[in-house]
Amino acid sequence: MKQLSHFLVAIALAGVMTTPVLAEKESAKLENGFVALFDGKSTNQWMNARSGKFPEKGWTIEDGCLKHTAKGGGGDIITRSTYEQFDFRFEWKVAKGANSGVKYFIIRERGSLGHEYQVLDDANHPDGAKGANRQTAAFYDVLDP
């Protein structure tokens, strides 16, 4: 029997702030029931994990990319909708020494705790030297990529 859970995707921003890039320039509704979470223009699919509104500061859209500014505030963002099944694809770029990630399988009422796909400047952040399960593409602190 398939267990149903509420799944949210969050962008985890920790330590030195990063510049995640989430841009697939496609319409919101795609073939086969897929949804584009970012179209390069709008943040309609996203909200702050605590307030339920998209942050007024800390996040910008630049050149079709969703960008978090260093020390800009704004906190974690999550999808407005919950997803039972998903195939999450994204492109990203981080600043030197950055530590970030994409969280999934979180429950909003419990905060931002959840599984994390690690996004890290492996060469310039101390976690990069702590083992493969702390490096980019790892299931953070659990499994190597």
**What is the set of domains in the chain, with CATH numbers?**
10-134 (2.60.120.560)
In the structure, what pLDDT confidence band is assigned to residue 13 with cuts at 50, 70 and 90? Answer: very low
Q: How much is the mean pLDDT over the chain?
A: 80
Does the pLDDT value for residue 133 go beyond 70?
Answer: yes
% of the chain beyond a pLDDT of 90: 49
* Amino acid 4: pLDDT: 33
Which residues, 6+ apart, have CB-to-CB distance to 2 below 8 Å? none
* Amino acid 29: pLDDT: 63
Does the pLDDT value for residue 28 go beyond 90?
Answer: no
Does the pLDDT value for residue 63 go beyond 90?
Answer: yes
Over the range 122-140, which residues count as b (16 or more CB within 10 Å of their CB) and which as e? beebebbeeeeebbbebeb
In the structure, what pLDDT confidence band is assigned to residue 98 with cuts at 50, 70 and 90? Answer: very high
Q: Give the span between the Cα atoms of 88 and 101, in whole angstroms.
A: 13
Sheet holding 10-14, edge to edge: 46-48, 77-79, 10-14, 99-104, 115-120
pTM of the model: 0.72
* Amino acid 3: pLDDT: 34
Please check whether residue 49 is in contact with residue 10, taking contact to mean a CB–CB distance below 8 angstroms. Answer: yes
Distance (Å) of CA 127 to CA 14, 116, 122, 136: 12, 14, 7, 10
* Amino acid 112: pLDDT: 77
